[in-house]
Structure 1
């Protein structure tokens, strides 16, 4: 089984793919950009990184392999574990080339260093978009000659007096209409403001009386007991993975929920929460036998 193929498939769909007991591949959306020096345009993409601390099994990779290979979840998990053992042994002597994803190797402090590939863009929205280099456009400024209009010779007789008087009268009429319109608008605004103020005063002093009031009903609300005992299913660095885990557990019949973020910044997911410690302990034993041996009890006030 080629584990790299399934990881690549999931990186196109999800922002984080965790390989249990090894680490997680995390993607971050990067906007389109331009290199001003080389005039090269790059489309939007997903920036890929590797986090060694993301090694808790969230079930995403195993479920996908089980559905594609048509095998059980346990067989898929065992196949992943074998690949992880192979990678851990191989990386001690040479870099691991994950084709289409990147290269993993150890540095001087025996820490895993990841160099992502630049040939693959995991952002499906940018499918078919490639980087390209724009051609430089040289602009030549042309000399613009100013146009000087020639003055025309006016009629020596000039404009008849009656035309001058008619134009002056038209200007005065237009000015009078404009002033009257402004005055009328001002008066309307003042009248409306007075009416609005009077209406607000009536509303403030109004008294409402209900002739047949409904009888009073006494309600007793039971106070919900606090639930400080939690059966923990896992902690996730990516909030979306935590929400996906809650949905999976609820589909399996658990009263799952997210109880917050711990001091390491991880979102905690629980199978269920209880107000009684004995109930929580019994449920924990049941979960460890049937669902997850890694489940544990958290007491959170």
Structure 2
């Protein structure tokens, strides 16, 4: 049985696919990138990695193969174990195990499994149809001082109209300067008086408004014998959503799942039953978190102190 096709299908939908008694393939979202040297543009993608410590069977892979092939769960589990045994034998013989569209597995000098991911498939569904491409570098030309045209200042000539008066005009027309001065004084006094009046009106209005406010405050503060019922205030507080769960296990029998929750709570964990997944297994979490950072820190601690087979589940 070739497992790489089934593993590849699950990597599109899950961040962790465990191969029982072997290890787990993990995915992590990676943003779009630009290569500074080759000017190549890469769309957002999922980066594959392998963790040999996550080898406990969570039922995801075996149940998926059973549903696709229509075979019994136990029968599929035996075939998976047989394929895993073949992989381990190849690795012991220093043979590279190549999984199509996933990557190559080999043994390093320290005797650990080394994984080299394949970059032929992008498992991020939101980037479907986006391919990498190379764009030529844009050359920017800065013009020299000789190419910049000189700015020529144009001074417009203002026409000068000569003032010519005759003796008759000087004697026949005299501008009434004294009347103009008197009119200016009267206009200035009117404007000043209007501004003073407007200012006094504003002071009066402000005083009336302040008195009304003080009277309202007194009525609201000192109820006396007839208390006034104030309107109630309803506050809407956003509930913190916790989509990151450190999974302790998945159980086919619900009673076993509840027993596991009680055991974890007795040891101090904020354990909870996450419900039944699409494969009919009841998942139990050590704790749930609102951010990936908090969940990752808790997962590392739990794997070191409690259960190496614990894994991270992300729900929408």
Tell me: CA distance 1:108–1:147, structure 2 relative to 1, closer, same or farther (3 Å).
same
The runs of 5 or more residues in structure 1 that have no matched partner are 211-228, 236-241, 267-301
Q: Which residue of 1 aligns with 2:21?
A: 21
Query: What's 1:39 paired with?
Result: 39
Q: Point out the more displaced range, 105-114 or 257-266.
A: 257-266
Normalised to the residue count of structure 1, the TM-score between the two structures is 0.62
The one-character-per-residue Cα deviations of 1:245-285 (angstroms, maximum 9, x if unpaired) are: 8322799697x75343688435xxxxxxxxxxxxxxxxxxx
Q: 1:148 aligns with which of 153, 160, 163?
A: 153
State the match for 2:290 in structure 1: none
- Please give the per-residue CA displacement for 1:6-44, whole angstroms capped at 9, x wherever unaligned: 000000111111111111100000000112232221110
For residues 80-137 of structure 1, the C-alpha deviation after alignment (integer angstroms, 9 at most, x for no partner) is 1111111111111111111210111111221111111122211111112122222122
Residue in 2 that maps onto 1:214: none
| Secondary structure, counterpart of 2:92 in structure 1 | coil
Q: Distance in 1 between matches of 2:75 and 2:195?
A: 88
Q: TM-score, normalised by structure 2?
A: 0.59
Are residue 232 (structure 1) and residue 249 (structure 2) matched?
no
Cα contact 2:26–2:49 (8 A) shared by 1: yes
Contact 2:64–2:279 (CA under 8 A) maintained in structure 1: no
Q: Shift in Å at residue 48 of structure 1? A: 0.5
CA distance in structure 1 between the partners assigned to 2:2 and 2:206 by the alignment: 79
Counterpart Cα distance in 2 of 1:41 and 1:250:
37
Gaps of 5+ in 2: 164-174, 228-256, 265-270, 288-297, 304-316
CA RMSD of aligned residues (A): 4.3
Name the counterpart of 2:96. Answer: 95
Q: Which residue of 1 aligns with 2:7?
A: 7
Give the drift of 1:190: 7.4
Q: Decide which of 216, 236, 240 is 1:199's aligned counterpart.
A: 216
Q: Please show how residues 56-205 of structure 1 align to structure 2 within 5 Å.
A: 56-93=56-93, 94-142=95-143, 143-156=148-161, 195-196=212-213, 198-205=215-222
| Structure 1 match to 2:314 | none
1:247 corresponds to which of 261, 265, 275? 275
Q: Report which of the two structures shows the higher radius of gyration computed on alpha carbons.
A: 2
Q: Matches of 1:246 and 1:62 in 2, distance apart?
A: 20
Ranked by relative contact order (alpha carbons within 8 Å, sequence separation 6 or more), the top structure is: 2
- Structure 1's 262 and 49: CA in aligned 2 closer, same or farther, altered over 3 A? closer
What is the aligned residue count? 229
The answer to whether the Cα contact below 8 Å between 2:15 and 2:26 also exists between their aligned partners in 1 is: yes
Task: Note the C-alpha offset of 1:144.
Answer: 3.9
Q: Give me the whole-angstrom Cα distance separating, in 2, the residues matched to 1:183 and 1:135.
A: 73
Counterpart-to-counterpart distance in 2, 1:44 and 1:186: 65
